[in-house]
Structure 1
Amino acid sequence: MFGPLGYSLAPYIRSSRTLTNWITPIANWYANAMGYRKYGFKYDDLLIEENDQVQRALNRLTPREQYDRAFRLKRASQASVLHAPLAKEEWTPASEDVRYLAPHVKDILKEEQERKLWDNTVVERK
């Protein structure tokens, strides 16, 4: 897929059991090395909010998802002020680090493509 989220090899890797078994430990190591889980973030919390598509996707979250996101941001801000990551038991586990915002962003990109297609349609009289 092309767009703000870039091109993804994930479908190809998931289709091969060997590649999945080889890439998964590297992906987990990389996600842990990034350090965002130490502050209680999920990956989608790091998306740039100034992007119009991300702003629209944030409006599509359920009230519970909005509350959880705000809580994670405030908790991470406090940890940053204290210059220390959260306690180990408060880190985001890999099992909970799911993409909650990306599906909304993808839907918005599809809607924009469809809108461009239909906005350029010319109706001619016969």
Structure 2
Amino acid sequence: MTSPMGFSLSPYIKNTPALARACQSAGKWYAGAMGYRRMGLKYDDLINEEHDDIQRALGRLTPRETYDRSFRFKRAFQASVLHKDLPKEQWIPEEQDVRYLTPHIEDVHKEEAERAKWDTIEVERK
């Protein structure tokens, strides 16, 4: 993804081992400081559901993923009402905080781009 200025630093960061390690450690610290794992949530649970593309991606989740997502929301809401974090054994470990919704969102965006490409195709007559 490019920045609003039209360029991305990610290839440079990925190709510089020291800088990549520093960014990874800063990212891990930031993810821990956000506190969503202490509430039993995964990163993809924080994505705003109000957009049509996100709704389509949510519709592609398996029934088990949908159930797990709902359970995490209910458990986090209960902890929020009680103004307490979950017990440490119920926190989401870093290894389990995988992106389960992001691949579906990317697929939806690719399909939209392909549909837009085909919808605007110009046919030339010979």
Pick the TM interval, shorter chain: 0.7 to 0.9
Match of 2:46 in 1: 46
Secondary structure of the residue that 1:40 maps to in structure 2? coil
Indicate whether 1:94 and 2:97 are aligned.
no
Q: Which amino acid aligns with 2:44?
A: D
Match of 1:118 in 2: 118
* TM-score between the two structures when normalised by the length of structure 1: 0.86
* CA displacement, residues 23-72 of structure 1 (integer Å, 9 cap, x when unaligned): 22211110011111110000000000001111110000111111110110
Unmatched runs of 5 consecutive residues or more in structure 1: none
Q: Which amino acid aligns with 2:56?
A: R
In structure 2, C-alpha distance between the alignment counterparts of 1:16 and 1:8, rounded to whole Å: 14
Aligned residues with identical type, % of pairs: 59
In structure 1, C-alpha distance between the alignment counterparts of 2:112 and 2:13, rounded to whole Å: 28
1:21 deviates by: 1.9
In structure 2, C-alpha distance between the alignment counterparts of 1:117 and 1:50, rounded to whole Å: 25
Q: Quote the RMSD (CA, aligned, Å).
A: 2.1
1:123 deviates by: 3.2
Correspondences of 1:43-82 after superposition (within 5 Å) = 43-82=43-82
Q: Which amino acid aligns with 2:43?
A: Y
Secondary structure of the residue that 2:54 maps to in structure 1? helix
* TM-score between the two structures when normalised by the length of structure 2: 0.86
In structure 2, C-alpha distance between the alignment counterparts of 1:11 and 1:62, rounded to whole Å: 33
Secondary structure of the residue that 1:99 maps to in structure 2? coil
The number of residue pairs the alignment matches comes to 123
In structure 2, C-alpha distance between the alignment counterparts of 1:76 and 1:10, rounded to whole Å: 33
